[in-house]
Chain A
């Protein structure tokens, strides 16, 4: 029996610490594992006993790339539990700060982390020598997203203005006004980025995914919606446990999420787009079509195009919100906490981020549970790895390794916020 193992001990250009193990026996893939070995961080445990007022600032620390996603999920859950409704301009401002996070996070991944895979560079620095304009424009685009988060959130990393009921402080029109020119320039760059990504060389690879995303009655989803899938799921976010479950697996410190009846599912840009492309403005739909995307894209390598499309949309949406902005009378809705359970689910750049909290009568957190997007995508990533590697078993190990790393980066996995180096070991027998 001929067998070999391909290992990538530390995955580069992903957020966090993970590794890849591929095993081949008699010319076929017998195991494909995305190993996450970063130690557990116990956020859910140390939220217990803390006040709801501390919630958004604590959960923001889960991630330096997508703190808004965690803040939004947590405050929505608290508001649901306490019977608070946040509407009008406060709701719009939440959407606006989320646009900033999408612009910043997507641009980082598209231009600095994922693009080098397609162009044959080991990293963005090497790529910048030959594609300076791309990187310079990406930096300008990312900066626009950061700036939006800073203006609304006080700072771009772990913003501090979000609270249950609204914000600690809302901007004046004059404070938002300079963002208009910045975002117009950012939108133009993002549109060009879509066209540029469309010209990249893509493997001919598709999978029949179960896509899961939020769907809102009239918006491309960010903060709200029902949980839907292309295989019939259509539930309130509170009913997440009726369709999905988390499982321990030996090779990962992150739980794997599956659809109870069917197994792996995908969240993130491809899923959002597949389930909501009709919610994009006509000209953004036109831009996607120009880039070769149909209403559904099943090639995960083309997620780079979808991220660029969503970046253009986020710029456009931010401009719309700023254009219509009237400062609300109060920065937050007044309320009194009460005993109860609340749910929050929003579309982080990498996909749905689901929260559930139980509160005491004074707003103290009794129990917390958070399901981040990357843990939901793990089984799907492993399924992709098996299929990608299975289609190239006769290719050199380096080629398989490169393609599989690229396949992992299709998901922009956010294992946590750390950096690492790449080591490859191969065992043949």
Chain B
């Protein structure tokens, strides 16, 4: 039986360098998601090369991203940002150790007309992004809850896309 096309149209992208303290939250959430994510929602982990996201996003209707957010006042706090209706707030802009961060990657895919219709970001506030630093306890503790939220988001998006497009194998 052909798998409905809509079931392949949600990508989950976990972002961040696990060697840089709280920047590793994306990788940690990805480990949790391997057990929780619907099998037909592809999961990718990007540790540094954000430019690759522009290629990764191509061909998907929806993307759910997990990344670390710049320090504010509550390490481990989870922010959900739906870029369909909101901009990525500058003060939350996920940190990056390279020339291109998540915000720039999203801007780039939009400029190239490759942007998915829906992009939802789960940004986890970090505290320390030093090379070799241990992840802040509160940030690490948020991984399980973040994964639960992301898995739920992916399931909702898949269901919503199914309703919109109907079964492709019909």
A and B are interacting partners: yes
Contact A61 B99 (CB under 8 A): no
* Interface size range on B against A: 20 to 34
Chain A residues near B51 (CB-CB < 8 A): 108, 112, 139, 142
Least distance between A311 CB and chain B CB atoms (Å): 15
Shortest C-beta distance, B98 to chain A (Å), equals 6
- A49 is an interface residue with CB less than 8 A from chain B: no
For B131, what are the chain A residues with a Cβ–Cβ distance below 8 Å?
Answer: 61
Contact flag A140-B55 (CB < 8 Å), given A418-B97, A419-B99: yes
Q: A156 at the A/B interface (Cβ < 8 Å)?
A: yes
Chain A residues whose CB sits within 8 angstroms of the CB of B107 once the complex forms: 125
- Cβ–Cβ contact B108 & A124, under 8 A: yes
Cβ 8 A contact of B49, one of A61, A132, A156, A419? A156
Q: Which residues of chain A are near B114, meaning CB under 8 Å?
A: 136
Which B-chain residue is minimally distant from A130 (CB atoms)?
A: B111
CB of B83 within 8 Å of the partner chain: no
Tell me whether B52 and A143 are in contact (CB under 8 A). Answer: yes
Please state if A419 and B97 are interface contacts (CB–CB under 8 Å).
Answer: yes
Cβ of B55 and Cβ of A143 under 8 Å apart? Answer: yes
Among A135, A136, A419, the one with the most B-chain Cβ atoms within 10 Å of its Cβ is: A419
Q: Do A15 and B55 touch (CB < 8 A)?
A: no
- Report 14 cross-chain contacts, Cβ distance below 8 Å, ordered by A residue: A13-B99, A61-B19, A64-B97, A125-B108, A128-B112, A132-B112, A135-B112, A139-B54, A140-B55, A143-B55, A146-B52, A156-B52, A158-B19, A417-B48
- Kindly supply a per-residue 1/0 record for chain A positions 140-162, scoring 1 wherever the CB is within 8 Å of any chain B CB and 0 otherwise: 10110010000000011110000
By beta carbon, the residue of chain A nearest B45 is A155
Asked if A128 and B108 sit within 8 Å, CB to CB, the answer is: yes
Q: What mask results when residues 93 to 111 of chain B are scored 1 for a CB within 8 Å of chain A, else 0?
A: 0001111110010011001
Q: Which residues of B contact A126 (CB under 8 A)?
A: 111
When C-beta atoms are compared, the residue in chain A nearest to B96 turns out to be A419
Does any Cβ of A come within 8 Å of B47's Cβ? yes
Q: Can you name 4 extra interface pairs (CB under 8 A) apart from A15-B99, A129-B111, A157-B49?
A: A125-B111, A126-B111, A156-B52, A419-B99
Q: Which residues of B contact A (CB under 8 A)?
A: 17, 19, 47-49, 51-52, 54-55, 96-101, 104, 107-108, 111-114, 131
In the bound complex, residues from chain B placing their C-beta under 8 Å from that of A125 are 104, 107-108, 111
- Chain A residues within 8 Å of B112, by CB: 128, 132, 135-136
A113 at the interface (CB under 8 A from B): yes
A residues contacting B by CB (< 8 A) are: 13, 15, 61, 64, 108, 112-113, 124-126, 128-129, 132, 135-136, 139-140, 142-143, 146, 155-158, 417-419
Q: How far is the CB of A57 from chain B (nearest CB, A)?
A: 11
Q: How far is the CB of A112 from chain B (nearest CB, A)?
A: 7
Select from chain B the residue with minimum beta-carbon distance to A64. B48
- Known contacts A15-B99, A61-B19, A417-B98; A132/B111 CB under 8 A: yes
Partner of A128, one of B52, B98, B111: B111
Q: Please, which residues of chain B bring their CB within 8 A of the CB of A418?
A: 97-98
Query: Nearest Cβ in chain B — how far from A56, in angstroms?
Result: 15
Alpha-carbon separation in the docked complex, A361 to B170 (Å): 70
| A-B CB proximity, top 9 nearest | A128-B111, A157-B48, A125-B107, A129-B111, A64-B48, A419-B99, A417-B97, A157-B47, A125-B108
A156 CB contacts on chain B under 8 angstroms? 49, 52
A139 to B51, CA, bound (A): 7
- The minimal Cβ–Cβ distance linking A73 to chain B, given in whole angstroms, is 20
Report the separation of the CA atoms of residues A61 and B97 in the bound assembly, to the nearest whole angstrom. Answer: 12
Q: Which residue of B lies closest to A136 (CB)?
A: B112
A124 and B112 alpha carbons, distance in the complex (Å): 11
Q: Are A419 and B113 in contact (CB under 8 A)?
A: no
Cβ-closest chain A residue relative to B132: A61
**Whole-angstrom CA separation of A135 from B100 in the bound complex:** 14
Of all chain B residues, the one with the shortest Cβ separation from A13 is: B99
Listed residue (A124, A125, A142, A156) with the most chain B CB atoms within 10 angstroms of its CB: A125
Q: Which residues of A contact B97 (CB under 8 A)?
A: 64, 417-419
- B109 CB → nearest A CB, Å: 9
What is the CB-to-nearest-CB distance from B115 to chain A, in angstroms, rounded to a whole number? 12
Q: How far does the Cβ of B13 sit from chain A's closest Cβ, in whole Å? A: 15
Contacts of B96 in A (CB 8 A): 419
Does the CB pair B54–A419 fall under 8 Å? Answer: no
C-alpha gap A140/B114 in the complex (Å): 14
> Which residues of A are found within 8 Å of B54, using beta-carbon distances?
139
Chain A residues lying within 8 Å of B48, measured Cβ to Cβ, are 64, 157-158, 417
Which of A128, A136, A419 is the one whose CB lies under 8 Å from B101?
A419
In the complex, chain A residues whose CB is within 8 Å of the CB of B47: 155, 157-158
Residues of B within 8 A of A128 (CB): 108, 111-112
Q: How far is the CA of A237 from the CA of B51 in the complex (A)?
A: 35
